[in-house]
Structure 1
């Protein structure tokens, strides 16, 4: 049985490329796509996915805003950021991880590279790890334990 993936990207061409890459691996199946964070939020409110591939720059609601809203509504999702902005050490990459994304992959800036083997391998590797990451993951509590002396 394939893992169900949601792809969120405002570029129809890149959505198609990402879907083709993901669907090329029999471990995964893209079951839904969205063109912005608002559409994705509606989907994530009603359906669970094994993984979500999320862009940052999108109209109406960007990827970081979606991550914030998911935290606010306590909606859990295994999210991989795929954006030209998510490069190691970039503010956007760090912020996405702070907001609950599991990992990120840098999306190539042109379609030729996006269709290349390097991006395909990176996306599938990160997606595979992300879909496995939270099997036994429990977010640590940031509040101190209640005093048990009474």
Structure 2
């Protein structure tokens, strides 16, 4: 079983993710977070196998949370992260700033998200299982 954190401020998107995971990724432990601050606190208390982030969120946006997680020693410093947003700055995708980070632009196809997630979850190293 994998622990997955879904961070999105829109309840409709969280509902879509819930339906998606129940269809394509059964037996996963899902945790939902409505913003970056809440997600940061959850990440400081639990190790996740995968994190998905929206970018545009109140209190702390997804990219700022991403930078904090990667630059702070902690449980999720190296966790694979998928940033899913309609508002990604074009320059961020071309920069190779962060290891193990993937970008998907909204609107997106759930099949491509599913393929990426399966790849990331299957490639977990034995030391993290």
Distance 1:38 1:13, change over 3 A: same
Aligned mates of 1:104, 1:23 — CA distance in 2:
23
Aligned mates of 1:85, 1:104 — CA distance in 2:
11
Please give the root-mean-square deviation of Cα atoms over the aligned residues, in Å: 2.3
Q: If the length of structure 1 is used for normalisation, what is the TM-score? A: 0.70
SS of 1:131's equivalent in the other structure is: helix
Give 1:120's match in structure 2, choosing from 91, 98, 110. 110
Give 1:77's match in structure 2, choosing from 76, 79, 82. 79
The count of aligned residue pairs is 123
Deviations 1:43-99 (A, max 9, x none): 111101111111111111011100111122122321111111359xx223345x623
Tell me the CA shift for residue 101 of structure 1: 4.6
Aligned mates of 2:68, 2:15 — CA distance in 1:
26
**Contact in 1 for aligned 2:55/2:63 (Cα 8 Å):** yes
- Aligned residue in 1 for 2:17: 18
Aligned mates of 1:73, 1:28 — CA distance in 2:
30
Q: If the length of structure 2 is used for normalisation, what is the TM-score? A: 0.80
Matched, 1:102 2:94: no
**Contact in 1 for aligned 2:78/2:100 (Cα 8 Å):** no
**Contact in 2 for aligned 1:51/1:131 (Cα 8 Å):** yes
Higher relative contact order (CA 8 A, sep 6+): 2
SS of 1:61's equivalent in the other structure is: coil
- Aligned residue in 2 for 1:54: 53
